[in-house]
Amino acid sequence: MPETLAQKQERFLEQTLALDQVLDAAGQAARGIVQPAALKPVLFEEGARLESPAITADRRVFIGAHSYMNGQGYLRSNVFIGRFCSIGRRVTIGAGGHRMTGVSTSPLLDAGPMHRHYDAQEVVALGLPAQETIGKPTIIDSDVWIGDGAIIMPGVHVGVGAVIGANSVVTRNIAAYAVVGGVPARPIRTRFDETLSARLLASAWWELSSERLKRLPLGHVPRFLDALEALSPQARAPHYATFAIAS
């Protein structure tokens, strides 16, 4: 049986996520793959669409089922995107950074890890950041909407169902179903109250196929959840495979 999205995320972070299938040209055509050249460096599920370049090595980007990212943006390495995400134009996820705790921010003068160490007292005394986020994984959970021009910094975790306003700069984790905006991005409101948000999170509805979901009352959340909870365990079993495009 295919893994759940949570299991895939865990294995992605451990760098042990395995492929179910490598798609050749015929396999891509059979699944209606759009922009195969853009998807070539990444791991993805059914219906994923990427129109911005992925700057990565060793397939260190994952895009979940039916998520899409429009053009003119960038996906940096070590990024995990859940399912049913809507990502606008000119969006950068896992933005690049420069180390600020040495003599220079220039990569040319980055002396390597052996010369970066400060002890705990020096960090406090010199007013240095407690930890750098460069290279840390950036996680976008399912059903996230990211507006045009937004920048998501590395190491950030964006919760399920969050909405990020256009041109926002996200420097901190965002809670599930929060609506945020600004520079830096700050909470504006929530999509639903705590009870409804908790039910949505517990439902893990993103494990269902799009065909199954379309048969449920998607426009009315309580009715949708009631209908979803009445489904058999077999109908809710995970079924999304992990693909890559042949090199």
Rounded to whole angstroms, how far apart are CA atoms 132 and 123? 12
Rounded to whole angstroms, how far apart are CA atoms 80 and 71? 18
Residue 171 near residue 156 (C-beta atoms within 8 A): yes
Q: Is 136 helix (H, G, I), strand (E, B) or coil?
A: coil
Rounded to whole angstroms, how far apart are CA atoms 168 and 12? 27
Q: Is 75 helix (H, G, I), strand (E, B) or coil?
A: strand
Rounded to whole angstroms, how far apart are CA atoms 148 and 190? 20
Q: List the catalytic residue out of 66, 98, 157, 220.
A: 98
- Catalytic, 98? Answer yes
118: tokens are 């400060």
Nearest to 65, CA basis, from 199, 242, 188: 242
Radius of gyration in angstroms for the set of CA atoms belonging to the chain, rounded to a whole number: 20
Q: Active-site residue numbers?
A: 98
